[in-house]
Amino acid sequence: MISVRGSGVVGLCVATALHEAGHEIEVIAPEHSTPPASWLAGGMLAPFCEGESAPEVIVTRGQSAVDWWAAHVPDVVRRGTLVLAAPRDAGELDRFARATRGHDWVVPEALEPAVSGRFARGLFFATEAHLDPRAALTALRMRLLAAGVAFCDAPARGRVVDCTGIAARTALSDLRAVRGEMLELHAPDVALTRSIRLLHPRFPVYIVPRAAGRYMVGATMVESDDAGGITARAVMELLSAAYTVHPGFAEGEVITTAAGLRPSFPNNLPAIRHVGDVIHVNGMYRHGFLMAPALALDLVSVLAKEPAHAH
């Protein structure tokens, strides 16, 4: 028996990979626990865009995430990522182009007519995708339950795999929190069909379309372990960026605001760590949906080399 602690994106990807590899598993997930940080994520599967600041391993290994998610959950939207910059920040677009690959220069309104007349040029990363994190995590959970995997609030037994994110700081001394803030808008007058990244020297923002006229706008990156609500500054900056992309957002209804703590190691790369008899899969930083499938498959390989513990 393998007990997987945590039911965020890492825990559910790990549980899925272990079950598919033939292991007997259970998921330790208290019913009334705080929602995981991944519940607030943008859900962008954008390895090439992340290459602007992330190491090459994120770009290389993250490319498999789109196919993995599409094979396991419905409604993965494969329409690429459109990267834009306001005219005053045109230099940011050139810098982003130099720092990344996998893109083409485009006339933005040819892809998204809704931004017509607002941007002269943009970068299009055609192979990227996005999903709705809450819908995807719910689908993974339902898939596991249908396969007979138990979700329970009980002491772990057998081999323990801890996927509890920032809650594992007591065992992982170098794990730190990186705060992210987001809001969700209902803006039926806006018609965007793919993820949009708006570049800015100080607060780059992304806008991710969801169903029924909803849009997720995020995300600040603050070196802080403050788990409080979203700040007024963040709300103003996120709304300002959304308005820059489309003035229709000004008439939208703010339906959700939230802040979460991303678990991060010093190098901002996820890792599998052994601490005593517990295996930790942690440190996703801002790459949870992009890298969790790859780390889950790595864990399957790790356990395959430990037959005495894997069974």
Q: Which of 205, 227, 215, 219 is nearest to 288 (CA)?
A: 219
Q: What is the pLDDT of residue 307?
A: 61
| Those residues with Cβ within 8 angstroms of residue 45's Cβ, 6 or more apart along the chain or in another chain | 62, 65, 66, 69, 76, 128, 129, 130, 131, 289, 290
Scanning the structure block, which residue is given the tokens 């995981």?
36
Q: What is the pLDDT of residue 28?
A: 95
Indicate the pTM of the whole model: 0.94
For the chain, the farthest-separated pair of C-alpha atoms sits apart, in whole angstroms, at 63
Residues of the chain with pLDDT under 50: 309-311
Given a contact cutoff of 8 angstroms between Cβ atoms, the answer to whether 64 and 76 are in contact is: no
Q: What is the pLDDT of residue 81?
A: 98
CA distance 21 to 237: 45
80 near 49, Cβ under 8 Å? no
E strands present in the chain: 2-5, 25-28, 44-45, 81-85, 104-106, 122-125, 129-130, 150-152, 159-162, 176-186, 195-199, 205-209, 214-218, 253-264, 271-275, 278-282
Q: What is the pLDDT, as a whole number, of residue 228?
A: 85
Structure confidence by residue, pLDDT tens digits, 224-240? 888 888 999 999 999 99
pLDDT at position 309, please?
A: 47
CA–CA dist 98, 203 (Å, integer): 19
The pLDDT value given to residue 308: 53
Place of tokens 């040819």: 110
